[in-house]
């Protein structure tokens, strides 16, 4: 790839990203405040989070799933995200120790 094509790709990517942000701000006030579309937009962050997290959990095996359950439990009980992350890391590390 030539330098001019690389620069064009970077500039077009930047234009694309900032246009999404601009139109989100410009049109955000015109979105419906009630109804199906409002509920769908409210559910979108959780859906995106699930789409990013679940494939990694499945790839981590049963240890990752157990750790995820512990993370949810610790977060709900304590509200401390750092403690929950440390608990999850420790759980995966302990569950992956070979028991021979």
User: What per-residue confidence (pLDDT) applies to 29?
Assistant: 82
Question: Domain map of the chain by residue range?
Answer: 1-30, 33-100
User: What per-residue confidence (pLDDT) applies to 30?
Assistant: 84
pLDDT in tens, 1-13: 788 999 999 999 9
Q: Which tokens sit at 7?
A: 């620069």
Tell me, yes or no, if the pTM score tops 0.95. Answer: no
**Comparing C-alpha atoms, which of 60, 49, 59, 47 is closest to residue 89?**
60
Using CA of residue 71, residue 75, residue 81, residue 84, what is the dihedral sign? Answer: negative
Instruction: Report the mean per-residue pLDDT for the chain.
Output: 90
């Amino acid at each position: 790839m030539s330098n001019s094509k690389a620069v064009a790709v970077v500039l077009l990517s930047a234009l694309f990203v900032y246009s999404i942000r601009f139109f989100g701000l410009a049109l955000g006030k015109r979105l419906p405040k009630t109804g199906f579309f409002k509920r769908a937009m409210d559910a979108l962050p959780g859906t995106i989070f699930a789409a990013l997290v679940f494939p990694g959990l499945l790839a981590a095996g049963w240890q990752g799933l157990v750790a995820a359950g512990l993370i949810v439990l610790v977060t709900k009980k304590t509200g401390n995200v750092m403690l929950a992350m440390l608990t999850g890391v420790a759980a995966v590390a302990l569950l992956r120790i070979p028991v021979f």
